[in-house]
Amino acid sequence: MKKLVCMFILFSGMNIFAQTATDDTSSVDKIVNAMYNVISGPAGQRDWSRFKNLFSTGADMGAIFKNKLGVVVYKSFTPEDYIKNNDPYFLENVFIEKELHRTTNTFGQLVNVFTTYEFESGEEKMRGINSLQLVYSKNRWWIASLIWQEETDEEKLPAEYLPK
């Protein structure tokens, strides 16, 4: 009887886990929403396992920005680098990033997404564009590339990438 009760508890727990598992990768909408959701929140730990699950093996991330000399540069890094560089900040600071507008281009299992974002962190509030290249493989969507550029006084967001 004890074995039966233990098996019931074990399988009941598995069923509850299966029902509450996050489905982040079954559609383009879900993976883009998950990307925003996983990095946003109050000061504290982010779910980095969930974050890493969004990216394909060998995925690349990057940012386009002006360096201290005022020169526009592109910096490339991995999702692991992103975690290492941003985890200390997120532990101490509120960071909320939300999507304002999205354009999507699709061909087969390849999708390019331009998603206009706005983030707030403390007194800082900025907008920009995340450019994602998504691929469908092994019955799910993956982020193969994620590059962003923030809006500046010299480089304003075009009207076609803003909410109507």
Q: Which two tokens stand for residue 16?
A: 């509850």
CA 127 to chain centre: 15
Lay out the sheet containing 140-150: strands in order across: 72-77, 55-66, 140-150, 124-137, 110-121, 96-107
What domain range is 82 assigned to? 21-161
Quick: pLDDT tens for 1-36. Answer: 555 444 444 444 443 333 335 799 999 999 999 999
Above 90 in pLDDT, residue 144? yes
Q: Is 79 helix (H, G, I), strand (E, B) or coil?
A: helix
Per the structure, the count of domains in the chain is: 1
Within-domain flag for 72: yes
CATH (domain of 142): 3.10.450.50
pTM: predicted TM-score of the whole model, two decimal places: 0.85
